[in-house]
Amino acid sequence: MKPLHLIILTFMFPFLSHAQSLNTSRIDEIIENQLRDAKRTYTDLHQNPELSLMEFETAKKMAAKLKELGFEVTTGVGGNGVVGVFKNGSGKTILLRTDMDALPIEEKTSLAFASKMITTDFDGKKAPAMHACGHDLHMTTWLGTLKTLTELKNYWKGTIVAIAQPAEEVSGGSNAMIADGLFTRFPKPDYALAYHVSAELPAGTIGYYPGAIFAGVNSIDIHVFGRGGHGAMPHTTIDPVVLASRIVLDIQTIVSREINPVHPAVVTVGSIHGGTKHNIIPDQLDMQLTVRFFSDETYQKILDGLQRIAKGLAISAGLEEEKWPLVQASNQFTPPVVNNAALVMKATQSMKDLLGENNVIQVEPLTVGEDFGKYGRTEEQIPIALFWLGGVSTEKHQDHLKNGTSLPGLHNATFFPDFEPTFKTGVSAMASTMIQLFNEK
């Protein structure tokens, strides 16, 4: 294996100086030539969004485009997942991921190609659909990068594993693809890369973070029991409304008193439902929580804290053991996206060489979730890196800086990226980074 690498390296070295001029001119030319097609693809995907687990037509489109580019294509991987493999001699294997699903939001942008789609969700209910998280842009940029790399195949050696992932918004897609043999049926990646469009950074820039860039997420249900009775005679009851109120207040101390203050975490109670009438003390109620964390250790502390506090308060209220609260973590656990620091630094160096130091920006981590983190948590321990791709038009961004106008965030009915500069930056930065990674020692 080693001597082969040496041969490839000596073979590749003459191209490394080439790669510099390649970055600025040749890649730009290739992108310019595909811009019209890319706009058509983007418009089509934007107008025809499909909800999580329902990405049937979108997956077909991705598979067809990959075939056109000469990829070996496998469909139906973990549901609607598509895997394309492009072998170009021996060398590294790099996985590039896009997601495909849209959100049940009625679009309120002024775009001529705004989605008017009313579709069916996974549960069979009618729902509007919109690419309000920019996954249409992710797909178009992903295809653009793959096209660029196939056209430049003389400049690198290795294997691309291109994956179009379903069900990111419900956080099951990456797990499903892994469980369906992503790392065993297809070449095992040395690196896994992805973008998420940013609704804050201007087009032409990229955001990075060499560590946990997105939080882990889980939903927790707390079922609180009591002893019901007449609202006029509380002394004959154990009031679960009062007990739940105490739980809400006391669990605030998990983050403020139990977790190291330099490790961010969130515990939010988003819903409490119980009772039927003014004068009846109910015998139970339900609470729904979301928790956010950047490490497994913090997650475990949150979970332990919720269980201990809920149980302790139930005991102090006088409830017997069979009526202690049930604290149940959902199986929709999304781990944090922990970027591999060394990979991020290598990739950002290549992006800075291309876009300029000021356009590749270190950002703060966010407490939202993204299921890309799962690709880095299997036994294969693949180094992963997810980057923010700036998507705000320069004018809107300037107006935001000067006048404080608010920018619609992701998942907002009025969000849309500035397609052309975002696409060009995304494709050129990712293609040149991948070429650099393919060519490294």
Q: Give me the residues that bind Zn ion (CB under 5 A), please.
A: 133
Whether the Cβ atoms of residue 42 and residue 140 lie closer than 8 Å to each other: yes
Cα gap 67→63, rounded to integer Å: 6
Give the nearest residue (CB) to Zn ion: 133
Those residues with Cβ within 8 angstroms of residue 74's Cβ, 6 or more apart along the chain or in another chain: 82, 83, 84, 85, 185, 186
Cα gap 304→125, rounded to integer Å: 37
Q: In this structure, how many other beta carbons lie within 10 angstroms of the beta carbon of residue 29?
A: 9
Cβ 16 to Zn ion, closest distance in Å?
35
> What does the buried/exposed string (b/e) look like for 351-362 if buried means 16 or more CB atoms within 10 Å of the residue's CB?
bbbbbeeebbbe
Cβ 241 to Zn ion, closest distance in Å?
34
Nearer to Zn ion, 133 or 193 (CB): 133
Cβ 423 to Zn ion, closest distance in Å?
17
Nearer to Zn ion, 139 or 247 (CB): 139
Cβ 207 to Zn ion, closest distance in Å?
14
Cβ 306 to Zn ion, closest distance in Å?
26
Nearer to Zn ion, 95 or 133 (CB): 133
Nearer to Zn ion, 388 or 438 (CB): 388
Nearer to Zn ion, 54 or 133 (CB): 133
Cα gap 189→158, rounded to integer Å: 10
Whether the Cβ atoms of residue 113 and residue 46 lie closer than 8 Å to each other: yes
Cβ 133 to Zn ion, closest distance in Å?
3
Cβ 38 to Zn ion, closest distance in Å?
19
Lookup: tokens for 8 = 């490839």
Q: Where does 232-279 have alpha helices with state H?
A: 240-250, 252-253
Nearer to Zn ion, 133 or 430 (CB): 133
Q: Which of 214, 211, 204, 213 is nearest to 389 (CA)?
A: 204
Cβ 294 to Zn ion, closest distance in Å?
19
Cβ 370 to Zn ion, closest distance in Å?
7
Those residues with Cβ within 8 angstroms of residue 251's Cβ, 6 or more apart along the chain or in another chain: 267, 269, 305, 306, 309, 310
Nearer to Zn ion, 133 or 238 (CB): 133
Nearer to Zn ion, 159 or 175 (CB): 175
Cβ 49 to Zn ion, closest distance in Å?
12
Cα gap 408→345, rounded to integer Å: 30
Nearer to Zn ion, 80 or 432 (CB): 80
Q: Which of 208, 203, 188, 225 is nearest to 95 (CA)?
A: 188
Nearer to Zn ion, 267 or 389 (CB): 389
Q: In this structure, how many other beta carbons lie within 10 angstroms of the beta carbon of residue 236?
A: 11
Cα gap 9→357, rounded to integer Å: 28
Q: What share of the chain is helix, strand, coil (3-state, %, to 5)?
A: 40, 25, 30
Whether the Cβ atoms of residue 161 and residue 94 lie closer than 8 Å to each other: yes
